Amino acid sequence: MKKMILSIALMLVALGAVAEKKTVTLYIHDMECKNCQAKVENTLAFEKGVRSLDFDLEKRQVTITYNDEKTSVEKLQQALLKHNKYGSQVVVECETPCKEQSACCQKKAKKECCK
């Protein structure tokens, strides 16, 4: 009996390890107020695989923790466009500090951002 319980526990641990949590930060240009934030939150909260949302309204960014087996960055971006017409870009961290971080690091391509 103990061996059976142990094997079931090991199988559950193995299944849990397969699904990986990932995090992405999206820049949403038109997210300017709490009402916009609520619309984005309501859209993303119901997407499959989304675990948590962390908003920075000042930077117009949302950090999303999600299960990569159930959704992808592209699906999250499409949900924003479909439901709220909010276009988004993945925030790319610059290799070197930007002179004007708020405007510079919001761009997708590093060559546009870091000079």
pLDDT at position 115, please?
Answer: 39
Evaluate if residue 108 carries a pLDDT over 60.
Answer: no
Report how far residue 82's alpha carbon sits from residue 64's, in angstroms, rounded to the nearest whole number: 18
- Print the SS3 string covering 76-113: HHHHHHHHHCCCCEECCCCCCCCCCHHHHCCCCCHHHH
CATH label of the domain that carries residue 84: 3.30.70.100
Q: Please state, for a pLDDT cut of 90, what percent of the chain lies above it.
A: 45
Q: Is residue 27 part of a domain?
A: yes
Q: Is residue 83 part of a domain?
A: yes
Contact present, 49 and 66 (Cβ < 8 Å): yes
pLDDT at position 9, please?
Answer: 66
Please give the tally of structural domains in the chain. 1
Range of the domain at 28: 19-113
Q: Is residue 101 part of a domain?
A: yes
64-98 pLDDT per residue, tens: 999 989 999 999 999 999 888 888 888 876 655 55
CB proximity list for 100: less than 8 A, separation 6 or greater? none
